[in-house]
Structure 1
Amino acid sequence: MTEINSIEIIGLIAATCTTAAFLPQVYQTWKTKNVSGLSLPMLTIFFTGVLLWLVYGTYIHSLSIILANAITIVSVFLLIVFKLRYRNR
């Protein structure tokens, strides 16, 4: 495990902000079942990018990158599931 230094603390704060900013979209989509504003190609590309960031963060042992992308990949996965499940509503 990587020791947490001041730069990693900045990364953790950034990770918290960017991940938290994404969560209301997941909640709103789950609540309303309205997926008309979601693009499946964008979500798929975003999922791939987040997965690669997670692999990269694991490789360099960056706690902030690992945590942010682990949470975000679950959120994006849920949006993809919602998009596929509710697309005909």
Structure 2
Amino acid sequence: MDFTEIIGFSAAILTTAAFLPQVYKTWKTKDVSGLSLPMLLMFFIGVFLWLVYGFYKESPSMVSANAITVVSAFFLLYFKIKYSKK
């Protein structure tokens, strides 16, 4: 593994780990009032595109971070739709 991928994995761990507490908190409290649906949709699409880009660039750090984050973003989208007051 080269130095560039070490930097990539370090960034991947930090940015992915930073996102997980929000998913956990939303799951536990079922409070989605502070989450914006348009932001979540744009974020999900953006992370998905980063994932595709990572595959094209053959970057394990980019693929692993964005694979985890796209799943997390999907859960937040799901929670937002499921728990939003109608």
* TM-score interval for Structure 1 and Structure 2 normalised by the shorter chain: over 0.9
Aligned length in residues: 86
Question: For 1:33, which of 8, 30, 33 is the aligned residue?
Answer: 30
Q: In the aligned structure 2, how far is the partner of 1:26 from the partner of 1:17?
A: 15
The residue number in structure 1 matching 2:75 is: 78
Counterparts in 2 of 1:49-88, with a 5 A limit?
A: 49-88=46-85
Q: Which residue of 2 aligns with 1:7?
A: 4
Distance 1:78 1:51 in 2: 14
For the residues of structure 2 that align with 1:86 and 1:20, how far apart are their CA atoms?
Answer: 24
The alignment's TM-score, normalised by the length of structure 2, stands at 0.98
Moved over 3 A (4+): none
How much does 1:88 deviate?
A: 1.3
Identical aligned pairs, as a percentage? 64
Alpha-carbon deviations, 1:45-71, whole Å to 9, x = none? 000100100000000100110000000
| Structure 2, unpaired ranges of 5+ | none
Structure 1, unaligned stretches of length 5 or more?
Answer: none
SS at match of 1:47: helix
Please report the RMSD computed on the Cα atoms of aligned residues, expressed in angstroms.
Answer: 0.9
